[in-house]
Structures are given as structure tokens and as C-alpha cells.
Amino acid sequence: MTLIKDELKELVAQSGRDFYEKGLTWGRDAGDTSLRDPETGLVYILPMPSPSLKIPTWASITAKDVAVVDMEGRNVGSAEVHPTVELLTHLRIYQHRPDANALVHSHGKWTRVFAAVRQPLPALMMDQFLYTGASLISCAEIGPAGSDKVAMSAVECLGEYGKVVLLAAHGAVCLGGDMNEAMSVAEISEDMARLAVFANTLGVAPEITLADFMDKKATRESLLHLEI
């Protein structure tokens, strides 16, 4: 219990409120966020609703409602607070991506257009391309929310560098080194999806590839650190 940090519970509760305000969830307990503490390996995550915890929207969430689990998913926080049903998706991504310390699983209205048609979200603009992992955004296989099948398919789509994956008929998962980055990646992804919908009404928009702005010496790693 001593490893649990109140400031990280507050940070996750704040991210839940922010994420609702930014329109990254349509309401109730749709979507969720989490944070991994690299020091202890504990994961702080939004909860599932229960008879004692009604969640009209994430706007009502406070630090005491945040669940804390270890990397195997064992509850180490308050016994009355249970993690979201999508816990496994968060854990699998943390297990496979040591660079990820925060996840925003959004139910945003524009990325959900691509999740609905289960097609990759194309990379059309240079800034978006770099901030979201320098590749198109793939769509994971359909399956029950929170299942290992969906979680592992998401891990596979993300690969080593991806920062966003679409979940078929569901939403998106965005990652970052910290919560600010994960939240910003989620907002950029919404913008990318909106832009792609409109751009494609004018004809098929050409997709960006690494070759478009990589000279012979540049590597994907160096591009991902490029500020534009």
C-alpha cells in the first residue's frame, strides 16, 4: 500500500475529467485512461461502475475512485474499487511497450468512423504523421472489449513505434511517455480522422510515407524525435 502514490491517482482522475471535456468519450464510462509508474510498476486506471460507484460521465471521477493494480492485474488499491473491464488492453500494451507510461483509450467521434469501417486511418499530414508514430494507424481485430484477443491484436498493430491503434467497432488506444503526450496523441488522432474523412470527399488523398521526408541517413527513430 505504501507504494501507492496519491498524486498519480489524482493525475488519472484529472485525465478522466479532461478526456470527457475534450470530447474523447461520449459519456457514462465509455473509454478510459491509465498511467504506469515506472518506479514501482503499478498501474493507475479508471474504474468500472458498481452499485457504490455510479459513473454518469468521467467528469464526476475523483482520486478515490481510481483503481491501482500491479502489472499482472492484481488489485493493490482499495478493495471496493475495481479497474475498468478494458484493463487487459492497458496491461498488454504496457507489457510490450516499455516506452509507454500512459494510455488514453478514447471513444472519440472521428476515430470511431474508421473503427466502424475497420479500415486503417491514413497518414495525410506531416505533423500528425510524426506525432502518432510515423505510420498509418492500423485497426485491431474485432472481439469482446477487454479480451486478450483484442489486446494482443492491438499490441501487434502498434508494433515497436506506433502510438495509436484503432479497435474495430469500438474506439482507439493512444499511448505516450506521460499523460500529456497520450492525451495530445488522442486529440491529434481525432483531428487526423476528421481531416481524412473530409479530404477523401475531394478524391483519394495521397498518403505520407517515411520516404517522403527522410533522407538517406535519417532513421525512423530520429524522425520520431523531430520537432516541426
Which of 48, 37, 56 lies closest to 81, judged by CA? 48
Comparing CB distances to Zn ion, the nearer of 104 and 123 is 104
Binding to Zn ion, residues 165-224 (CB under 5 A): 171
- How many H-runs (helices) and E-runs (strands) does the chain carry? 7, 7
Residues 6+ apart with CB under 8 A from 129: 123, 135, 208
Comparing CB distances to Zn ion, the nearer of 47 and 171 is 171
- Nearest distance, CB of residue 197 and Zn ion, angstroms: 21
Comparing CB distances to Zn ion, the nearer of 40 and 57 is 57
- Nearest distance, CB of residue 145 and Zn ion, angstroms: 5
What does the per-residue mask of binding to Zn ion show for 147-176, with x meaning CB under 5 A? Answer: ------------------------x-----
Residues 6+ apart with CB under 8 A from 82: 47, 48, 50, 67, 75
- Nearest distance, CB of residue 35 and Zn ion, angstroms: 17
What does the per-residue mask of binding to Zn ion show for 66-95, with x meaning CB under 5 A? Answer: ------------------------------
- Nearest distance, CB of residue 105 and Zn ion, angstroms: 6
Q: Which residue is nearest to Zn ion (CB)?
A: 171
Letter string b/e over residues 38-75, b meaning 16 or more CB atoms within 10 A of that residue's CB:
eebebbbbbbbeeeebebebbeebeeebbbbbeeeeee
- Amino acid letter, residue 150: V
Beta bridge partners of 98: none
Residues contributing to the site for Zn ion (CB under 5 A): 171
